[in-house]
Structure 1
Amino acid sequence: MVQLRTYVFLDVMQKQFAAFMGSTAKGYLPVAEQASLFVEIAPGIEINRITDVALKATKVRPGVQVVERAFGLLEVHSFDQGEVRAAGEAILRNLSLQEEDRLQPRVVSTQIITNIDPHQAMLINRNRWGSMLLEGQTLYILEVHPAGYAVLAANEAEKASPITLVELRPFGAFGRLYLGGTEAEIQEAAKAALDALHSVRGKPNPA
Structure 2
Amino acid sequence: MRIAIAGAGAVGRSIALELVESKHQVMLIERELANIEPESVERAEWVHADACELASLEEAGLESCDVVIAATGDDKVNLVVSLLAKTEFAVRRVVARVNDPRNEWLFSENWGVDVAVSTPRLLAALVEEAVAVGDLVRLMTLRQGQANLVELTLPEDTPLAGRPVSSLQLPTDSALVVILRGGRVIVPQADDALEPGDELLFVATTAVEEDIRDALGV
Smaller-chain TM-score bracket = under 0.3
Structure number with greater CO (CA < 8 Å, separation at least 6) is: 1
Q: TM-score, normalised by structure 1?
A: 0.26
Max Rg structure = 2
